[in-house]
Amino acid sequence: MKMLRSAVASLLLLSASGALAHEYEQGGLHIDHPWSRPVPPMVTNGSAYLVISNQGQTGDVLLGASTPLAERVEIHTHLMDGDMMKMRQLENLPVPAGEAVILAPGGHHLMLMGLKRAPQLGDRFPLTLQFKQVGEVDVEISVDADAPKPVKQAHDDGHHHH
């Protein structure tokens, strides 16, 4: 029984540390903290957010994404049209070399269209990003009430070094 308890404790520690390391790397692209907000049961669309840092020497382009959770995924942005905020679909999203593109509420985001089920707080679901240069990058979306704090800033003492 004691061994079983210690094994369970080890698994819990592993899963807790895995929740913090929520980033992906492929071909010079670094994908940080993919997340989504919970969606009420009858809502058919949701959104996903993340940060794409291009640490490579050449630019890349996000062409689209897919998830088994939704019929389709579209790249969207918010634009001010006079004093009205409007959402517009983008064909793609350039990710210049040496720069980060932030997909966040109120800006660029991935629209999950035709949800097959509503993501709930604490859920995780797969999402495949399609890039022009590096191809497919599989990530896991974490359903959180609000944007997760980057791990690096969470251990910061309040001083920001750039």
The pLDDT tens digits of the residues spanning 139-158 come to 999 999 887 765 444 334 44
Backbone angles phi, psi at 63, to 5 degrees: -90, -25
Give domain status of residue 162, yes or no: no
Give domain status of residue 17, yes or no: no
Q: Please, which pLDDT band fits residue 41 given cuts at 50, 70 and 90?
A: confident
Give domain status of residue 120, yes or no: yes
Q: How many C-beta neighbours within 10 Å does residue 134 have?
A: 17
CA dist 105 and 46 (Å) reads: 11
CA dist 93 and 18 (Å) reads: 29
How many independent structural domains does the chain possess? 1
Give domain status of residue 123, yes or no: yes
Question: Is the CB of residue 54 less than 8 Å from the CB of residue 100?
Answer: yes
The pLDDT tens digits of the residues spanning 18-33 come to 444 479 999 999 999 9
pTM of the model: 0.78
Which residue range is the domain that position 30 belongs to?
24-146
The pLDDT tens digits of the residues spanning 79-125 come to 888 898 888 999 999 999 999 999 999 999 999 999 999 999 999 99
Give domain status of residue 11, yes or no: no
CA 156 to chain centre: 22
CA dist 75 and 48 (Å) reads: 10
Give domain status of residue 140, yes or no: yes
Give the CATH number for residue 56: 2.60.40.1890
